[in-house]
Amino acid sequence: MPSRVEDLLRELAPQVLGTLVRRFGDFAAAEDAVQEALLAAAVHWPREGVPENPRAWLLQSAARRLIDAQRSDRSRRNRENLAAAQEADARELSDQDDTLIVLFMCCHPALTPASAIALTLRAVGGLTTAEIAKAFLVGEATMAQRIARAKQNIKASGAPFELPSRDEQAARLRSVLHVLYLIFNEGYASSTRRDLHRAELSQEAIRITRMLQRLLPDDSEVAGLLALMLLIDGRRPARTDAAGELVPLAEQDRTLWDRALVTEGLALLDDAIGRGAVGEYQLQAAIAALHDRAPRAEETDWRQILALYGLLEQLTGNPVVTLNKAVATAMADGPSAGLAVLDTVDERLPGHYRVDAVRAHLLEMAGDTRAALAHYRAAAGATTNLVEQHYLTTQAARLALRDESLRGR
């Protein structure tokens, strides 16, 4: 399918879904009808051409499928008259864009993060169940069950198809941003895959967040999240070498970075800072910006990064933030200071491979080769990403050779 058609379908999917849910009142049935309409468009449009009004084409196609489904259900024979009336009104479906409502509904508090991610990718991202299942390395039937349960939970919650009230919006928006952040992270650093990246997921997270930012242009945290994604994704071309091996940030060829994405991210961040209360995504974006602004790794302003991690730690209490703060502390004040910070993380992140990886790095900085070697090996044994595993194993092998050399003197 041509990329132009694919992009158009993904953009229109949540708009069409929102209109049908608002008109027919059944999220699950409308979502199934939209998926069928998208598949029909994917077959017909490349061959016959994109219709003059593609949104209306999808609305008509999905509405007919939804009505046909209602009619075929024997338990709903008493709705035949209503279905006929709805069919007559199908041409008058509103042009209102309900994408934001759909996004909030997919991130309903009743759903687990895994279910919210899957439903968001399908309903807002326009991905098929098979595509989502492939991205998360599960069977299509398993993913279909996960999405079905998510829709059932939304229906059971009785949530109306409307934006949350002002009192609820802040908390619900936080859930939306968190789901988009998780999708991006899984795309940027895959947890269970042979490749380091899942570019299709990180790019989809960016696309949806752009959509959200257009709908909420004055929200500084939405802008902060989009800036964070752009600033980090801009480094992706340099994050692996020609053989697909991991290249750490300090060793990356910064001329390979996507400067258009970095420049856009910096501009978004500069505009967001000071427009409202500074939140966690703005702080993370500010840290990413300090890395991206440094012409060389040696010129990174670690003292300022450390200060920002301190603020982020106070704001979130997240042990992963403390883990990153340990690295910044080591770079600013020496490895011993970084290791002292790292000691506070062990109980909060038990068995996490990144704790061992960071400890190995800091111990190597401190000159303790044998201890660093042990922790590189432990980290390699705990990670589920094969690219990261190979990198950590390589670091362990490098230190093992150094240790043998030192003992042979």
* Selection from 2, 72, 76, 82 nearest residue 33 by Cα: 72
Q: Tell me what pLDDT residue 78 has.
A: 54
* Selection from 302, 300, 326, 332 nearest residue 313 by Cα: 326
The token duo for 151 is 């829709």
Segment 365-381, tens digit of pLDDT? 999 999 999 999 999 99
Neighbouring CB atoms inside 10 A of 1's CB total 11
Q: Tell me what pLDDT residue 84 has.
A: 47
Domain boundaries, the chain: 1-96, 98-138+158-205, 351-409
Q: Give every residue of the chain whose pLDDT is below 50, as ranges.
A: 80-81, 84-93
Distances (CA, A) of 20 to 96, 242, 259: 11, 47, 40
Q: Tell me what pLDDT residue 317 has.
A: 92
Segment 102-131, tens digit of pLDDT? 888 888 888 888 888 888 888 887 777 887
Contacts 24+ apart (CB under 8 A), 234-237: 234/258, 234/259, 234/260, 234/261, 234/262, 234/265, 234/292, 235/292, 236/188, 236/197, 236/199, 236/202
